[in-house]
Amino acid sequence: MDRPDGYVELGYGTFIPAGGPGDCTGSAYVFIGTVDGESITEVLLPDNLVDMGPRTFAQGEVGYDDQGRIATYTVAAGDVEGVIGDRLGLYNGDAIGMLNGHKGYEPIQPGEVLVINPELVPSFQYEDPYN
C-alpha cells in the first residue's frame, strides 16, 4: 500500500497523520496486538513528545526522564486513557493501559504511574496480558 500524502507509515499497513493530532509537534503512536498470529508491540514516539496541559479527564501529573523527555503519567481521579493520549499528542491513547499490563476491561486507577515511553524507562518490560 502506498503512503498517503501527509501521513507517516508505521508498518503493518498502519498510517497516521504526520505532525500529530491537534497542536502536537510530532506523530506518536503505540500499537499492541497481533498481526498474522504474531504478538506485536510498535511504539513510535518522537523525542519531543509534548504535554499540552491538563484538561477534563486528563488532570494527572507527567513525569520526565533525565533528559527532560516525557516518560510516565500519574493518573488522577477521573482520568481516561484516550484523553491522556490527546493531552500528550498520542494517537490511540487507549493503548496506554495495555502498555502498562491492563486488559481491555481493567480501568486505570488514581495514583497509578503509567509508562508512556517504555524506551525511556529502563525497568519496563511488556508482557502480553492476553497470553
pLDDT at position 54 over 90: yes
**Residue 131: per-residue pLDDT:** 61
User: Residue 100 and residue 33: Cα distance in Å, rounded?
Assistant: 14
| Whether pLDDT at 129 is above 70 | no
Concatenated DSSP letters of 93-119: TTHHHHHTT--TT----TT-EEES-GG
The reported pTM is 0.76
Report pLDDT digits (tens) over 78-126: 999 989 988 988 877 778 887 888 877 789 999 999 998 877 777 766 6
pLDDT digits over 35-46, tens only?
A: 777 766 666 666
